[in-house]
Amino acid sequence: MPSRLFTVTAGILALIFAAVPALEEPLAYPGPPGAVEAAFFGMHIHRAAAGTAWPAVTFSEWRLWDAGVTWPQLETEPGKWDFELLDTYVTLATEHKVDLLLTLGLTPAWASARPDEPSAYGRGNAAQPRRIADWEEYVRVVATRYRGRIHEYEIWNEPNVKGTFTGSADEMAQLSRAAYRVLKSVDPTITVISPAATAEQGVGWLDDFLRHGGCESADVIGYHFYVTPQPPEAVPALVRSVRRVLHRRGCDRKPLWNTESGWAEPKRFSSDEEAAAYLMRSYLLNWLLGVQRCYWYAWDNHNWSTLDLTARSGEMTDAGGSYDVIRQWMLGATLYRCNRNPTGLWTCRLDRASTTTMVLWSENRTQSFAIPPSWQAETVLSWRGGSSRANGTISVGPAPVAITTRQTLPSGSMQ
């Protein structure tokens, strides 16, 4: 496993696992060990080779899904390969110094066990391959071509959704074992991510997949922590459900990545401020729960996603700009702790070597907050990136604000 992956300690996981989700009670969540890494911030770009300018925000990881490079698009007929688009993506990733995560699958109709079966994509695409040898050859050809340039492979996208996969969890476990064996034979340093189930409905599928030995064929457990239309504060309960399954199946020491996250129908956003609030809180809460990667969906999607980071004209929205703001607040800091009081006010403490940053938001309404004198507050930072002098009492709404201090606060100091 690559050295940049760290294992969350059993003690921290136990604390996270035991946290009580009842919102009417005060909550205290201990943060994970270690500083927030650049690799935590991932992105989806769908049309990077077809008109989308490179994003104006900084991220370190790019997941290729809905980007035109699935198996049916790479191998249109047996042995007939088209790598032009994927080559372009690899070149762009190298130029911009980001790492690629390539999601494997779907199944071309010519290789499909059910070639006429409808899917969310093309006919036959959601079925498992008829011959495992065809799958192995696909994985081998791709991994060999991009050896040393693509370091991360995810086995399948949302296999609990029938429009994406109609085989059984046992059949997906067989595909995972075969892909893992081939990928590691081509390059032992490749990181293999499990098939990523999605939303609350995916927890049972993950349990079945792990019951059939799926843990052994993954370096990382991937999941899509979608809670739409609920707010980001619903994420912790879903993460805990996944962690319970991982613990039960002896797979809880594997890193956990959120390989796709965002909001879609029926949630609609009334303003960029509300959209930014959901994005920023999502990143804070994912890291708080020990999720080590979070890939936002998506920079340039206007068909399914309702939390738009860009306008249809291609210009970045204010919500898109908030991606950079939360990254600046979090990167390199240790998330010491987050508290939630009964009024829905959250306070998260981010520590650096010589300063502390307190990030606050209110779930449902704007409320006044008196900054404790013990914080020695200097500056209040807004979700748009602006700043003002810290001045006694501030208004805290759904979009996070950050309060910087003159020095690192004593251990245990929150509110």
* Contacting residues for 67 by C-beta, under 8 A, at least 6 apart: 44, 45, 46, 47, 48, 85, 89
360 within some domain: no
23-48 burial: b if 16+ Cβ within 10 Å, else e: eeeebebebbeeebbebbbbbbbbbb
pLDDT per residue as tens, the chain (415 positions): 333 333 333 333 333 333 333 334 578 889 898 999 999 999 999 999 999 999 999 999 999 999 999 999 999 999 999 999 999 999 999 999 999 999 999 999 999 999 999 999 999 999 999 999 999 999 999 999 999 999 999 999 999 999 999 999 999 999 999 999 999 999 999 999 999 999 999 999 999 999 999 999 999 999 999 999 999 999 999 999 999 999 999 999 999 999 999 999 999 999 999 999 999 999 999 999 999 999 999 999 999 999 999 999 999 999 999 999 999 999 999 999 999 999 999 999 999 999 999 999 999 899 999 999 999 999 999 999 999 999 889 999 999 999 999 877 777 666 5
230 within some domain: yes
- Quote the CA–CA distance of 369 and 355 in Å, as a whole number: 21
- Quote the CA–CA distance of 404 and 390 in Å, as a whole number: 8
Q: Report pLDDT for 4.
A: 36
- Quote the CA–CA distance of 246 and 244 in Å, as a whole number: 5
Q: Report pLDDT for 79.
A: 97
| Beta pairing class for 334-340 and 41-43 | unpaired
Number of domains, the chain: 1
Q: Report pLDDT for 11.
A: 38
88-123 burial: b if 16+ Cβ within 10 Å, else e: ebbebbeeeebbbbbbbbbbbbbbbebbebebebbe
414 within some domain: no
Contact (Cβ atoms closer than 8 angstroms) between residue 359 and residue 54 = no
Say which CATH number the domain at 218 has: 3.20.20.80
Q: Report pLDDT for 148.
A: 97
- Quote the CA–CA distance of 265 and 26 in Å, as a whole number: 31
CB atoms within 10 A of CB 322: 27
Contact (Cβ atoms closer than 8 angstroms) between residue 109 and residue 115 = yes
348 within some domain: no
Of the candidates 169, 161, 233, 173, the residue with the CA atom closest to the CA atom of residue 199: 161
194 within some domain: yes
104 within some domain: yes
293 within some domain: yes
Q: Which residue range forms the structural domain that includes residue 159?
A: 10-16+37-333
- Torsion angle (degrees, nearest 10) of CA 87, 93, 99, 100: -40
395 within some domain: no
- Cα distances from 45 to residues 92, 223, 312, 399, 406, in angstroms, run 11, 19, 14, 25, 39
Q: Report pLDDT for 276.
A: 98
